[in-house]
A = this chain, B = another copy of it.
Amino acid sequence: MSPLEIGIIGMGNVGSGVAKILTNQSEMLERRAGRPIHIRKATVRDLGRDRGVTLPDGVLTVSIDEVVNDPEIALVVQLIGGIELARDIMLRCLKAGKNVVTANKALLCEHSEEIFATAKANNCCVAYEAAVAGGIPIIDVVGESLASNQLLSIEAILNGTSNFILTEMFNRDASYDEILQEAQQLGYAEADPTFDIDGTDAAQKLVLLTQLAWGTTVSLDDFPRQGIDTLELADLKYARELGYKVKLLATSRMVDGQLEMHVQPTLIKADRPLANIDGAFNAVSLLGDAVGRTWYCGPGAGQMPTASAVVSDIIDMALGRTQITFPKLEIWSESGADVVPKNEITSRFYLRFQVEDRPHVFADIADILGQHEISLASIIQHEAPELDATGEGGYPVVPLVVMTHRTQLGKLLAADEALSKLDALREPRVRLLVADQ
Contacts and interface: CB of A to CB of B under 8 A. Distances in A.
A293 interface: yes
Say what secondary structure dominates the interface of chain A: helix
A435 interface: no
Contacts of A295: 295-298
Interface stretch (A29-37, A62-70, A74-82, A189-197): A29-37
Nearest to A285: B297
A290 B307 contact: yes
A324 B129 CA distance: 19
B148 A312 contact: yes
A148 B315 contact: yes
B305 A290 contact: yes
Nearest to A303: B290
A145 interface: yes
B273 A290 contact: no
Contacts of A33: 147, 328
Interface string A227-266: 0000000000000000000000000000000000000000
A113 interface: no
Interface in A1-48: 17, 21, 25, 28-29, 31-34
Contacts of A140: 140-141, 144-145
A21 B291 CA distance: 11
Interface string A146-177: 11111000000000000000000000000000
A304 B146 CA distance: 12
Contact of A325 (B135, B147, B319): B319
A432 interface: no
B25 A146 contact: no
A324 B147 CA distance: 18
Contacts of A299: 291-294
Interface string A301-318: 010110111111011100
A141 B137 contact: yes
A140 B289 CA distance: 19
Interface residues of A, number: 56
Interface in A84-139: 129, 135-137
A181 interface: no
A108 B17 CA distance: 37
A298 B294 contact: yes
Contacts of A370: none
Contacts of A328: 31-34, 319
A145 B150 contact: no
A307 B276 CA distance: 29
A321 interface: yes
Given A324-B321, A328-B34, A294 B148 contact: no
Contact of A311 (B137, B148, B319): B148
A320 B298 CA distance: 29
Given A32-B147, A145-B312, 11 more contacts: A25-B150, A135-B291, A145-B145, A146-B308, A148-B308, A148-B314, A290-B308, A292-B305, A294-B297, A296-B296, A296-B297
10 contacts: A135-B291, A140-B140, A140-B141, A141-B141, A144-B321, A290-B304, A290-B305, A290-B311, A291-B298, A291-B308
